[in-house]
Amino acid sequence: MIAAALGLSCVVAWWQRPAPQVLPSRVDAAVASDAPLPRRAAMIGSTLPDAFSSMDALPVAVVDGGGLGGRDLRLTESLDAAIAAHGADAWLVYDMEAYAFMACGIAKRLADQPERLDHNRAWAIDYVLRACTGYDEKKYTPFLRGMAPDVMFAREMGEPIADALALDDLRTAVTSAQLTPASNQLFRSGKFPVAIPQHLSDGERMEAFELAVVPIRCRALNACGNQSLLTAMLCMQGCARGVTLEQAMRSRMSPAAIAAAMEMRRGLVRFRSAPR
């Protein structure tokens, strides 16, 4: 459920779009790169400071205009500011639009339902409903634009190309729209550059990945504090008021999946900070 809500929100439209041509420059750069991947033992066995602060120190593009957080979040204002600053086709904007589309739709359905009487859900529903005031899904929906990560269609050019592009996205991307397809490709091909415990189910593995990349997503979209859209979206299922997205996610995961997520996070810090 966590992975579906936070990581897979953007794939709905990809199935409905003609495949765009993968950018030749990306293919050439990814395939030509001969920089060795960090060795798994070195990545996982090394001692690092707290994984969250380590990943938080990595350079990350941060959306302009406030992103998806704040006590008085208004999505129309945030989306307009992000579009003005980054352009309508920026992946950061695409992520914001996708999460707004999902959150507003869920909150609208729950507004008159018994769930709103549960105080552990009501605060989150109310937060999202306020944020969605004036929101027009026809204006902001990302599903009208023919965007898709290159890796989604690179498989037609062969697994090595798809893996190379997925590794490039995993190393540099900051959005769910890029990170989740990249991880799916690398999990599927067995080329994910971080050791993953074998006992995890497919669902636990994806949940672990989504938790591992929370610092990237949080900084990029300002979305994961105790007053933010992604936290409230998840907490419409029930959370104590005042939790962060990381705390809410951990409360829904098994100890094994949480441990795997922290292991994966440390490895991703190494991978994303290693020289190309």
Q: How far apart are CA 172 and CA 12, in angstroms?
A: 23
Going from N- to C-terminal start, the domains of the chain cover: 2-10+50-273
Q: What is the pLDDT of residues 20-47, one digit of tens each?
A: 344 445 545 544 444 333 322 222 222 3
| Average pLDDT rounded to a whole number, residues 107-126 | 94
Neighbouring C-alpha atoms within 13 Å toward the C-beta of 24: 0
> Mean pLDDT over all residues of the chain?
79
Q: How far apart are CA 270 and CA 43, in angstroms?
A: 6
Q: What is the pLDDT of residues 119-173, one digit of tens each?
A: 999 999 999 999 999 999 999 987 655 455 666 666 667 788 889 989 999 999 9
Q: What is the DSSP string of the chain?
A: -HHHHHTSTTSTTGGGSPPPPPPHHHHHHHHH--PPPPPHHHHHHS--S-HHHHHHTS-----SS-TTBSTT--HHHHHHHHHHHH-TT-HHHHHHHHHHHHHHHHHHHHTTSGGGGSHHHHHHHHHHHHHTTT--HHHH-GGGS----HHHHHGGG-HHHHHHHHHHHHHH--SHHHHHHHHHHHHHHT--SS---TT--HHHHHHHHHHHTHHHHHHHHT--SSSBHHHHHHHTT---TT--HHHHHHTTS-HHHHHHHHHHHHHHHHHHHS--
Q: What is the DSSP string of 191-218?
A: --SS---TT--HHHHHHHHHHHTHHHHH
pLDDT in the model for residue 53: 47
Which residues on neighbouring strands pair with residue 185, listed in sequence order? none
| Whether the predicted pLDDT of 216 surpasses 70 | yes
pLDDT in the model for residue 59: 47
pTM of the model: 0.79
Range from 64-68, 88-92, 262-266 carrying the lowest mean pLDDT: 64-68
| Whether the predicted pLDDT of 11 surpasses 70 | no
Q: If pLDDT is split at 50, 70 and 90, which confidence band does 3 have?
A: low
Q: What is the pLDDT of residues 221-234, one digit of tens each?
A: 998 899 999 999 99
